[in-house]
A and B are shown apart, each in its own frame.
Chain A
Amino acid sequence: MDSQSDNNPPSATSRLRHLDRMTNFQLVREMTQFVKPVRYTAAVACVLVGLAVFLEIFGVNLTRVIINTLSHLSPHGPLAPSRGHFHLKPMAHHQSMANATTFHAIVWLLVLLAATTILLAITNLFRSLANTKLSMDMVYFMRSQAYDKLQHLGFGFHDRHSTGQIINRALSDLHNIRFFMNLSLVSAAEIVGYVIGYNLLVAAINPWMGLAALLPIPFWILYIRYFGRRMQPIQKSLMDTGDQMVSVYSEAVAGVHVVKAFATERMEISKYQEKTDRLFDQTMQTVGMWAAFVPTIRGIATIANLLLFFIGGVLAVHGVLFAGDIFVFGIAMGAILSRLQQINQISNQYQTAIVSARRFFEIIYADPSVTDTPGSPELPAGRGDVEFRAVTFGYKPENPVLQDVSFTARAGSMVALVGPTGAGKTTLMQLLARFYDPQRGAIFIDGADIRHVSLGSLRRNVSVVFQETFLFSDTVAANIRYANPNAPMELVRRAARLSQAEEFINQMPDGYDTILGERGMTLSGGQKQRIAIARAILADPRILILDDALAAIDPGTEALIRQSLRELLRNRTLFVIAHRLSTVKAADQVLVLENGFITQSGTHEQLLAQSGHYRDIARIQLMGFESSLIEKPTVEVHP
């Protein structure tokens, strides 16, 4: 994907920071970069809009001519020449003949009008197609870019933003933008087209009238701007409250077992009610504003309209204008007004689209936590030697989670990481897979600094089984062959066998073709972990990391899995984060991590011989067999 390199310009941070200061207008200008790939469609759409406007106004003008001609048909005959005197000249002898000619003309005018209407209908068809194509293509491009970017942003971004938030940005926000682009921007172009077109028409009939028709426009613009400025903050807080309300709702649903267990239903209800009450108040606040907005916009139009009709009426009395002309003013003002009715819709969508665009750019301009330098070499051949050299890392640089961590792991060995909750074990392993880059120090795999090899080749060679298992809503087989979608079925079976998953998979209704439910909900924790291990086995990595991935599996099965992994990974390196001594005992090397430092390292036996954290936990676990902790609190274990 060559688009990727455009996504990650070196100045991303500065652009992100710049985003906060950007005005709405600049934001819109920033959006135009997405119009570029669809510029030809955009041009066609513009031409079609122009054509449609022209045809419609031409049609109205034809109607005017027809009505003016009709007024010649009236039984009193043409009025214009004699009107100043209000004296009727007898024209009866000419009348029937004149009527016949004008009637003839009217027939032809009507034919022309019909042709115009049909042509307009056809133009509208193509216009609708062009509009859809334009907005779809643009959003396709934007969404695809956001998706690509999200996949390459690394864990940092995903840590900071909740899943729901990101999904919302990529779906709803782009939806809002598309809506704005499709309906609003195009209708804005149309509005401008029609306003200019009708004004020209009116001006062509009478320049003074044309000028008068322009009168309300500045008032409209001023009022809409004023309205928008007042509306935007309310709109934003409305959206925020809405988010909060949905969040309370979804948490109460997702955590229903907690709610039920503590019987806190009423508390949840009042929490929810508080949000709905606030949202209701804010909604009514905006409704109050809209309720004033619509009549005001129409009011301005009405005043202008009446002024125009007044002038028109006076001019008609003076014989400057005809009935058809006044009629055209009515049509023109009506048309302009009905287009302007859309302005509230447009400005509404504009307000939402602006907020959405800002959030969209937050993704596009976000700094990836790790960057893949284009053209970096593959990971060199090797068997999985790992070296950490004085690695210091913190999710926030001022709060280091790992400090000056150094160790080496020989290829083919099994390394166990032990330590209290929050000591940095998971973080250490995530650095090895380069989900983050350390602030200081370096990590080497088979002699190569992992920052200088391509991410793809690195991740192909380092597989992680995460603490929290995530399975895709797909078949069991597809989940296992996730890393290698073309793997033959034998490999899938073998991986499942090795991870002790084969038995229960075979018991499932469709075996390997069973579709796992939403996030694999229908499986037990242990079963999910075994499928995740099978997935990692099939990936055939040089280095395999099990991040507490055996916790939900019973000890017997775990021993079997470990055994098969050892065999499988004879020439590879296995990292295990575990609490169970039984697991740790089997390791070639045990690293004890406390508060971000490696405090002890060695084999199980060596560590047992030293005093320290390891011996403490070993004693606790071993002692558990003799005397239960529940019965007799063991106070003597403290170092």
Chain B
Amino acid sequence: MKRGDVPLKTRPWISRRHDRGVSGAASFKPDFEADYRALDWKILRGVWQWMAPYRNGYLFMAFAGLVMSGLELVTPRFLQQLVDTDIPGQKPNIFSLWLIKCGALFGVLKNTSRWPHASVAYLNITTTILVWGLTMATALLIQRQVIWYTTYYGQKVLFKLRLDVFEQLQRLSMNYYDKTRFGRILTRGTGDIDSMSNFIVWGVNTLVNNLTMMLLAAIMMLLLDWRIALSVLWLGPVLYFTNILYRRRIGHAWRLTREGWTRVSTNLAENISGMRVVNAFNRQYQNLDVFNDLQAVNTANNMHAAFINGIYQPLLGIISFLGRLIIISLGAWMLVRGGGVAANVFHIGKLIAIYVYWDWFMGPVINFGNFYNDTMMALACAERVQTLLAEKPQVTDIATPVHLPSLRGEVVFEHVTFGYDPAKPVIHDVSFRAAPGQVVSLVGHTGCGKSTIISLICRFYLPQTGSITFDGHDIRQIESRNLHRFLGIVSQNNYLFTGTVMDNIRYARPDATDAQVREALSDLGCLQQLELLPDGLQSQVGERGAALSLGQRQLICFARAFLADPKILLLDEATSAIDTYTELVIQQALAQLVKNRTTFIVAHRLSTITGSDCILVLDHGRIHERGSHNELLALDGRYAALYREFISA
């Protein structure tokens, strides 16, 4: 937002900014501001597509804006009329003539030819002012409509886009989230869209208006006196190119500023996130020094940008002044020789009108500079949003998915090979079968692929080769919502949403009643523990559950999965953060829970899994051993070694 440092020469009808930054303080700044580069028509076409439903509205409002500008453009003529009233030997001007005609209809205002000149002058002044006032009133009324409707269309487009981005994010598969940084994803739906708002709302209007404005002003000047007009209009292109040169320079300075600012903000954000560590290791003073150094660089960058700005802005002013100088000098010369050009007597009023039109002409030229900047910035953001929207989800439902009314819970892996990066498989040729109701445990060192198998069962990813079937149906063919209704997962990465404990527990089944939630909790045996919270089950869990202890959070995740009543239960190191006592409670409940479900357990504590029907020992993505606890001990292989290590520890 460094652009704000440049005093904007805004035309009254382009009331920028009030529609800016809709998401207020919470908006995240886009990754970068646009650098100076050529227009990309493809992106622009994309933006034009977004505007499609309101195109006619946009164009109509641009037209209305034009009418308004046209009305305002006449005002120098009124001023001219007014200034020229002191020319002796006045005739009633056109407005007065209208009034006189109207008056004649009613039998008043007769015989104006016999009026004293002063009275004619008064009449002229009065009528001019009246017509002027009427014109302005109309213009202002139109302006109100233009502002309202244009913003309305623009915001419609922007909000639709916000929703589209969000829907797309919901559609995309885990692989997108793996490869894209959190901050980036956040920016797409917030800062990027905010940064486009000025362009999307006012783009069409600004373009149409300024172009027409400039042309009209030029034509007016040419009509008033083509000699003076031609002698100054060439300054327009000069100003335009100076402006572009300036944008290029300032663009570079802004990039520096932005980078410096990013460092300041990242430093701050990270240190606040890690405030506990900062305090624990007593780094406050060093951190403040580092922060202030970064700030000093930021200040220096801003000063540099201000300097370039300070050089160029007045330069633009001087070029525009040059035009005025030429107008006045030529005007003066023509006034002197005025009588000479008999056909076109040059009045002082004409000179003033040209002078004012010159300002009208220059405004859009400078506005175009700002507009270009807006456009560049908006297009850069639009490009990123378009890339996101064009992203294909890796895992999608097939055209005619299978809908299973119920599931027995048989899970079969057949020669499954999978890698997050297909070139680097992390699961190699894994085959196993879990019969309905069985408990299957996955054992192995960190990074051996246990959690990946869980993710594959959840269909977060699709295997590169081989197949996974539930009750004989390939999971690729099952409809996503249908599939996930049968799945319940509790992972080590317990995640809660802002809201109450109750809201979180019924996350998977929003229609569950309070009584059902309580029942589920008491079945799990943790109702009492959660009711001890300050507001019981209505306690707020805070941002991502920050108000609760890890164990409490994990309990809620358990309850959430339990309430969903899954046929296949996945526990990915689900009990590592719970104290032994609570774990016992859950283990006991699980004994009931797993009865009619197929359960997969990943656990470090081998004591948890000794009773499994089948233990799969994984090593570097391959199944190394399989069998029940006793079989594996008898085998005296890797599992037996792990187990001995565990008991002796």
Segment at the B interface, from A20-28, A110-118, A195-203, A213-221: A110-118
Please report which residues of chain A, range 250-306, place their CB below 8 angstroms from some CB of chain B when the two chains form the complex: 250-269, 272-273, 276-277, 279-280, 283-284, 286-288, 290-292, 294-295, 298-299, 302-303, 306
Report Cα–Cα, A99/B339, bound state, in Å. Answer: 13
Contact count band on B = 35 or more
Stretch in A68-76, A385-393, A437-445 with 4+ CB within 8 Å of B = A68-76
Interchain CB contact under 8 A, B147 and A151:
no
Tell me, in angstroms, the Cα distance from A237 to B578 when the chains sit together. Answer: 40
Least distance between B383 CB and chain A CB atoms (Å): 20
Tell yes or no: A54 within 8 A of B by CB.
Answer: no
Residues on A with C-beta less than 8 A from B291 are 144, 147
Cβ A151 vs Cβ B552 within 8 A: no
Q: Is the CB of A468 within 8 A of B507?
A: no
Q: Does B230 contact A (CB under 8 A)?
A: no
Are A483 and B581 interface neighbours, CB within 8 A? Answer: no
Instruction: Determine which of A264, A273, A617 lies in contact with B580 in the assembled complex, contact meaning CB atoms within 8 Å.
Output: A617
Contact, CB under 8 Å: A246 / B190: yes
**CB < 8 Å: which of A272, A292, A426, A459 contacts B281?**
A459
- 297-332 of chain B: CB within 8 A of chain A: 298-299, 302-303, 305-307, 309-311, 313-315, 317-318, 321, 325, 328-329, 331-332
Chain A nearest CB: distance from B353 CB in Å? 10
Binds A, one of B19-27, B404-412, B516-524: B19-27
A103 within 8 A of B: yes
Asked if B344 is an interface residue, CB under 8 A from chain A, the answer is no
Given A75-B339, A122-B314, A341-B10 in contact, is the A630-B594 Cβ separation under 8 Å?
Answer: yes
Nearest chain A residue, comparing its CB with the CB of B84: A323
Tell me which of A204-212, A552-560, A603-611 binds B: A552-560
The reply on A12 being an interface residue by CB < 8 A is no
B436-494 interface with A by 8 A CB criterion: 439, 445-447, 458, 460, 480-481, 483-485, 487, 489, 491-493
- Residue among B277, B280, B339, B610 with most chain A CB within 10 A: B280
Confirm or deny: B515 has a beta carbon within 8 angstroms of a beta carbon on chain A. Answer: no
Contact A279 B22 (CB under 8 A): yes
Whether a CB of chain B sits under 8 angstroms from the CB of A494 is: no
Whole-angstrom distance from the CB of B540 to the nearest CB of chain A?
A: 11
| Cβ–Cβ < 8 Å partners of B489 in chain A | 261
Q: Which of A72-113 contact B (CB under 8 A)?
A: 73-76, 79, 82-83, 86-88, 99, 103, 106, 110, 113
Indicate if A326 sits at the interface (CB-CB under 8 A).
yes
CB contacts (< 8 Å) of B317 on chain A: these are 117, 120-121, 124
The answer to whether A399 and B335 touch across the interface, beta carbons within 8 angstroms, is no
Interface flag for B118 (CB, 8 Å): yes
How many interface contacts (CB-CB < 8 Å) are there between A and B?
Answer: 539
Q: What is the bound-complex CA distance between A290 and B148, given in angstroms?
A: 8
Q: In this complex, what residue of B is CB-closest to A595?
A: B532
Instruction: Please measure, in the bound complex, the distance between the C-alpha atom of A259 and the C-alpha atom of B24, giving whole angstroms.
Output: 27
Contact (Cβ within 8 A) B487 A147 = no
Give the complex CA separation of A69 and B313 in angstroms.
31
Is A189 in contact with chain B by the CB < 8 A criterion?
no
Q: Which residues of B contact A290 (CB under 8 A)?
A: 15, 18-19, 147, 151
B288 to chain A, nearest CB (A): 5
Contact of B122 among A317, A319, A344 (CB under 8 A): A317
Q: Is A345 an interface residue (CB 8 A)?
A: yes
Give the size of the chain A interface in residues (CB under 8 angstroms): 198
Q: Does A226 reach chain B (CB closer than 8 Å)?
A: no
Q: Is B212 an interface residue (CB 8 A)?
A: no
**Residues from chain A with Cβ under 8 Å of B349 in the complex:** 323
Cα–Cα distance between A463 and B582 once the two chains are bound (Å)? 28
Verify if A31 is at the interface (C-beta below 8 Å from B).
no
Nearest A residue to B75, CB-CB: A330
Assess A632 versus B591: contact at CB under 8 Å? Given A74-B335, A259-B170, A294-B143: yes
In the bound assembly, the distance between CA atoms of A106 and B649 in angstroms comes to: 101
The docked-state distance in angstroms from the alpha carbon of A394 to that of B353 is 77
Instruction: Provide the main secondary structure of the chain A interface.
Output: helix
Shortest CB–CB separation between residue B472 and chain A, in angstroms?
21
Q: Is the pair B18, A470 in contact by a Cβ cutoff of 8 Å?
A: no
**Given the complex, which residues of A lie within 8 Å of B583, measured CB to CB?**
579, 620
Q: Is A582 an interface residue (CB 8 A)?
A: yes
Residues of B within 8 A of A473 (CB): 266, 270
Q: How far is the CB of B525 from chain A (nearest CB, A)?
A: 11
> Does A110 lie within 8 Å of B325, measured CB to CB?
yes
A225 at the interface (CB under 8 A from B): no
B143: chain A residues at CB < 8 Å are 294-295, 298
Q: Cβ of B88 < 8 Å from any Cβ of A?
A: yes
Q: Which residues of A contact B133 (CB under 8 A)?
A: 302-303, 306
Interface residues in A453-491 (C-beta closer than 8 Å to B): 455-456, 459-460, 463-464, 466-468, 470-473, 482-483, 485
Asked if B163 is at the interface of the complex by the 8 Å CB criterion, the answer is yes
Is A113 touching B325 in the complex (CB atoms < 8 A)? yes
Stretch at the interface among A167-175, A373-381, A403-411, A567-575: A167-175
A66 touches B (CB below 8 Å): yes
Q: CB-CB < 8 A to A634: which residues of B?
A: 584, 588
Evaluate contact between A548 and B287: CB separation under 8 angstroms. Answer: no
The residues of A that contact B137 with a CB separation of less than 8 Å are 299, 302
Residue of B nearest to A151 (CB): B284
Supposing A524-B446, A631-B591 touch, asked if A257 and B313 sit within 8 A by C-beta, the answer is no
Please, which residues of chain A bring their CB within 8 A of the CB of B626?
Answer: none
Contact B186 A253 (CB under 8 A): yes
**Digit string of A134-163 for contact with B (CB within 8 Å is 1, else 0)?**
001100100110011011101100110011
Chain B contacts for A272, CB-based, 8 A: 163, 166
CA distance A164 to B605 in the complex (A): 35
**B282 within 8 A of partner (CB):** yes
B170 near A422: Cβ-Cβ < 8 Å: no
Query: How far does the Cβ of A440 sit from chain B's closest Cβ, in whole Å?
Result: 21
The answer to whether A294 and B174 touch across the interface, beta carbons within 8 angstroms, is no
**CB distance B23 to A554 under 8 Å?**
no
Q: 15 pairs across A/B with beta carbons < 8 Å?
A: A168-B25, A249-B190, A251-B544, A254-B182, A255-B544, A258-B495, A294-B147, A302-B137, A317-B122, A345-B17, A352-B25, A435-B276, A464-B276, A555-B646, A620-B584
Q: Which 8 A-B pairs have the closest CB atoms?
A: A628-B611, A421-B551, A624-B607, A121-B314, A263-B484, A631-B611, A239-B24, A132-B306
